[in-house]
Amino acid sequence: TQLLEQSPQFLSIQEGENLTVYCNSSSVFSSLQWYRQEPGEGPVLLVTVVTGGEVKKLKRLTFQFGDARKDSSLHITAAQPGDTGLYLCAGEGAGSYQLTFGKGTKLSVIP
Amino acid sequence: NAGVTQTPKFQVLKTGQSMTLQCAQDMNHNSMYWYRQDPGMGLRLIYYSASEGTTDKGEVPNGYNVSRLNKREFSLRLESAAPSQTSVYFCASSGDRDRSPYEQYFGPGTRLTVT
């Protein structure tokens, strides 16, 4: 069974601070996806990383896939209140129809 | 472009009542999924349909049934609701499994309370 551990589980920071969220596993994934879920809404896909060592940037968000494709991180620079939400990582197993989801990191950015 | 739509958005049931949650996607995706999301438990897969005409159990299928009505629609039925089924339910869809990466796109959710 593949598992994805996300840390931290909760994070409360002031506007303007930087933060990093981690997603770790002992399993290798074909790709890894990051979603953001706002209260009362469904998860929205932010980015997919595919290649080991890959780094993708989405404005102030930087996503990295580990060299061995077992872990990933999300770094937010100068957090804003609009970044508040639940961040989920999900791993794609080779040939599987199912994604393995982490339990999420709940981020609160205080103005 | 609507993406994945779900109805209803909210529902309150009494124990023992039945109901069907509806999901439709307009992205011509082959695969569709039903999840439930509970505090501290994350997203848990209930059932999925890899393609039209097929359905498979996920992690937590007990108490639920599904129907893949056609390529667009995938419904989730609670035959006899229990308080343990109080949750937020999400439908999702994915494209061709032969292509990677394999990404899922979610609907807005149905908030179900069973009293």
Q: Which residue has the higher pLDDT, B99 or B11?
A: B11
Angstrom distance (rounded) from CA B94 to CA B50? 9
pLDDT of residue B34: 98
- Distance between CA atoms of residues B92 and B103, nearest Å: 10
Say whether A31 and B100 touch across the interface (CB within 8 A): yes
Q: How far is A20 from chain B (nearest CA, A)?
A: 20
pLDDT recorded at residue B1: 66
Do A104 and B42 count as a contact with CB atoms less than 8 A apart? yes
Using the structure block, give the residue that is written with the tokens 């994604």.
Answer: A99
Task: Tell me which chain A residue has its CA closest to the CA of residue B40.
Answer: A103
A&B contacts, CB < 8 Å: 57
pLDDT, residue B33, reads 97
- pLDDT single digits (tens) A17-44: 999 999 999 999 999 999 999 999 999 9
pLDDT, greater one: B69 or A12: A12
* For residue B80, pLDDT beyond 70: yes
d(CA B65, CA B71): 17
Pairing status of strand B110-114 against strand B10-13: parallel
B24 inside 8 A of chain A by CB: no
**Minimum-distance CB partner of B103 among A42, A45, A103:** A45
Could you give the CA distance from residue A89 to residue A105 in angstroms, rounded to a whole number?
A: 9
pLDDT band of A2, cuts 50, 70, 90: confident
Side-chain-facing half-sphere of A76: CA atoms under 13 Å: 25
Judge: A99–B101 Cβ closer than 8 Å, yes or no.
no
> Does the beta carbon of A31 lie under 8 angstroms from any beta carbon of chain B?
yes
Do residues A64 and A72 lie in contact, with contact meaning Cβ atoms separated by under 8 Å?
yes
Q: Look-up: residue for tokens 């990466």?
A: B101
Nearest-angstrom CA–CA distance, B30 and B98: 11
C-beta atoms of B101 and A48 within 8 A: yes
Q: Tens digit of pLDDT for each residue in A38-95?
A: 999 999 999 999 999 999 999 999 999 999 999 999 999 999 999 999 999 999 988 8
The pLDDT tens digits for B32-59 are: 999 999 988 889 999 999 999 999 999 9
Number of other residues whose CB lies within 10 A of the CB of residue A1: 5
How many angstroms separate the CA atoms of A103 and B6, rounded?
A: 23
- DSSP state letter for B73: B
